Amino acid sequence: MDTRSRVAAISAHRNRRFGLTSRQLNLVIEVLFVSLVATGLASWLLPLDQAWVATTIHGIAGFMLFAVVPLKVLGPVRTGFRRRRLSRWLSATFGVMVLAVLVIGVLHANGIWWGYGYWTGMWTHLLLGFSSIPLFLWHVVSRPSKSARPKRVDVDRRSLLTTSTLLAAGVGAWGTQEVVLKAVGADAADRAGTGSHEIASFDPDAMPRMIWIDDKRPKIDFDTWELRVEGKVVALDDLWAMSKPVVAWLDCTDGWRSRQNWDVVPLSDLISNERARSIQVTSATGYRRLFPLSSASSVYLCVGYDGRRLHGGHGAPVRIVAPNRRGPWWIKWVTDVELSDRPAWMQLPLPGPSFGAGSSSKGAES
């Protein structure tokens, strides 16, 4: 047996003490990583009353990955550094980034660390998480030989037993976290199903003024500003006269939520053509989203809160209030409401920076 084969055999034996070979361990890590990315995105896309499912799986998968890290360090990582390959530093960087993402996620979930300045804990968690995806893909495709790649035989009785144990450990850790938070009366025990923490409810002056990714607040001239609904100008005074109070949660993707008493007008009170398939709402920034026509009575144009007008950073003079949807749907600085023949699902699930004219990320969130 040559040196490389002997090292591989030793590595496999060491990991078999925990019920997994190096190849099986890599497979578990890859499945957990993909699960974390998928459930993280799902928590943004799902309605607020359904997002808890994705968030719970996300938390359990995170604790499972925490449990796997020591196995990776004691086996493949130690072996890789002994071989002194240059790629070992990429592996180390990937491992450190994943560990940082996990630690920051736990700190945020428990309300321990919110970040510094603009870079909050949640955005730091997201930034490191998405930045680690290229390294993850490299980790998948850079296996040195076919023997290191997953095989059907890797799914055996022993590996399933070990994976089940990891799952039980993840569920147990997540459950213990929730029990302890409630037992000590921590504010984090009342965080939303999305994982967001409550802040500044019924205190709009203290509510954060955040916007999506690379946004910049536009300069609004209130003297020349116009809102057009189906091509017709609607006066701000008329909206105020039609408005009624609605209490709703704004759940920001930055990891916080706030409940306010919004002064709103349902879109259904302003539109007339019921043959359309969706309602397109456009911001002064060019940002736009499509809402299903069926949601016209539950999506609102908002002119203020508690009987006074919105702050400029909150979308004045008019913004969207979309209960049960995350921040990217709460469009600010609204200038146009139009009916469209396009179905609402025929758009990007999440807005992104610079996807083309009319689909900029600017103009949403708090």
**Boundaries of every domain in the chain:** 3-190, 199-340
At the topology level of CATH, where does 199-340 sit? Sulfite Oxidase; Chain A, domain 2 (3.90.420)
130-163 pLDDT tens trace:
999 999 998 788 765 555 566 666 677 787 888 8
End-to-end CA distance of the chain: 63
Average pLDDT over residues 62-82: 74
Q: Which two tokens stand for residue 362?
A: 């600017």
Tell whether the model's pLDDT for residue 77 goes beyond 80: no
Task: Go through 91-122 and write b for each residue having 16 or more CB atoms within 10 A of its CB, e for each that does not.
Answer: beebbebbeebbebbbbbbbbeebbeeeebbb
* Residue 356 binned pLDDT confidence (cut-offs 50, 70, 90): very low
What is the pTM for the complete model shown? Answer: 0.85
Between 153 and 194, the higher pLDDT residue: 194
Grade residue 26 by pLDDT with cuts at 50, 70 and 90: confident
Q: What is the mean pLDDT of the chain?
A: 85
Question: Does residue 176 or residue 150 have the better pLDDT?
Answer: 176
pLDDT score of 18: 63
